[in-house]
Amino acid sequence: MAAQATAIPVTARVVLRRSDSDDAEPHPIGVCVINYFGATSAHRTTVAYRYHEDVLTLESPTTATAGSHTLQLHHANCCPFRALLQGGPLPDDLVMPRMRVAVVVMIVSADKRVLLTRRAATMRTFPFAWVAPGGGIEAGESLAQAGVREVAEETGVVLSESATTPIMLFESAHPALLDHGHPSRHHLIAYLKVQLQVPHDNVKLRLQPSEVGAAAWLSEDDVGFVLNPPTQKPESRMVPGVVLEETLHQKTQIDICPLAYGDIKFQRGDPVAERLTTGTRAALEALLEKL
C-alpha cells in the first residue's frame, strides 16, 4: 500500500519526468527524487527544471523541454526517504509529507562576502541553524519573485528579480535523520544567487525577529573555513554581522566557529546544534566555485 500524505496545504506542485516515453507525473509521496532519476547510490545528480504557474517540473537533461534549465540536484548523505525505501516495504499506516517548493537566495556583496542568517531560537525546525534567507512560494509567484520577497521580509534588503541566477537545487527532509523519526517535511529548494554592486558594510540589515536572530557576512576564506575547518579548533574566528536583541539591531563581530564545528544549545530543554544546514553547506560549495 502506498504511503499516505499529510494534509498540509501545498501551493506549488512538483512533477517529474524521466524520459521521452514517460508522461510527467506528480512527485510520488515519500520518494527520494534523486533515486527517482536513477542515482540510487549517489547524493547528487543533474536534472533539467522549469517553474511555471505554480508547478516545478524536473526532467532528465536528455528529455528537457523548451524553457528548462539544467542544474545539479543535491541531497544529504543520510536522506531519510532513500533510507526508508532501502529498508523494505513501508507500513500501511505511515503518513508521509507531500513535497513542497521553497527558494533560498545567496547574496554576495561587491567585496565578495556572503550573507548568512541564524534562524531564531523560537523556530520549530532548525532553530539556531545558519542558512541563507528564503522560504515558501506564494500562489502566482515565480522563483525569483518569491526569493526577493523573502529576502526583504527576513533581512530588509531590497533586490531586483532580474539580478537572480539559479545555482543549484536541494532535496530537504525534516527530521534530517531517520533515527530522529520518520520525515514530516519534504522540500525541493531552489537556490538562487544575487551579486550586489555595493560592499557589505553599505548594506543596511533589518532582521525579522520571528525568524532571524543574527546575520553574518563571510569572506571567501571564511566560507572555506566553515566548509573545511582545521582539526585544531581556534578560540574564535570573527566576521562582521548584526545581532538582534529584542528589537535592537547591534552591529558586531560574530564568531563563526559554531558554524564550522557545531555548538550545542538548548531549546525547551532539548539540545540543538548551532550549525550550517546541509543545504546551506552544499550551496556554499557551489558558490565558492564561482566567487
Q: What is the pLDDT of residue 198?
A: 98
For residue 227, CA distances in Å to 97, 198, 199, 257 come to 30, 25, 23, 11
Q: What is the pLDDT of residue 1?
A: 34
pLDDT over threshold 70, residue 268: no
Q: What is the pLDDT of residue 89?
A: 64
Confidence label for 267 from pLDDT (cuts 50, 70 and 90): low
Confidence label for 271 from pLDDT (cuts 50, 70 and 90): low
pLDDT over threshold 90, residue 4: no
Residue 88 gets the label, from left (phi > 0), alpha (psi -120 to 50) or beta, of left
Closest by Cα among 131, 199, 189, 193 to 159 = 193
| Distance from the Cα of residue 31 to its chain's centroid | 19
Question: What would the pLDDT profile of 110-128 be if each residue is shown by its tens digit?
Answer: 999 999 999 988 888 788 8
Please tell me the pTM assigned to this model.
Answer: 0.91
Closest by Cα among 105, 71, 106, 90 to 32 = 90
Neighbours of 260 (CB within 10 A): 20
Question: What would the pLDDT profile of 21-51 be if each residue is shown by its tens digit?
Answer: 788 899 988 899 999 998 888 899 999 999 9
Produce one character per residue of 229-255: b if its CB has 16 or more CB atoms within 10 Å, e if not. beeeeeeebebbbbbbeeeebeeeebb
More confident residue, 245 or 272: 245
Q: How many CA atoms lie within 13 A of 163 on its CB side?
A: 14
Residue 231 and residue 166: Cα distance in Å, rounded? Answer: 33
Record the cell numbers describing residue 228, joined without a space: 573545511
Q: What is the pLDDT of residue 52?
A: 92
Which of 14-28, 183-197, 266-280 has the highest mean predicted lDDT (pLDDT)? 183-197
Residue 211 and residue 161: Cα distance in Å, rounded? Answer: 22
Confidence label for 2 from pLDDT (cuts 50, 70 and 90): very low
Confidence label for 65 from pLDDT (cuts 50, 70 and 90): confident
pLDDT over threshold 80, residue 291: no
pLDDT over threshold 80, residue 186: yes
Mean pLDDT for 61-65 is 84
Q: What is the pLDDT of residue 81?
A: 87
The dihedral built from the CA positions of residue 17, 284, 193 and 139, taken in this order, carries a sign that is positive
Quote the percentage of the chain above a pLDDT of 70: 91
Q: What is the pLDDT of residue 71?
A: 95
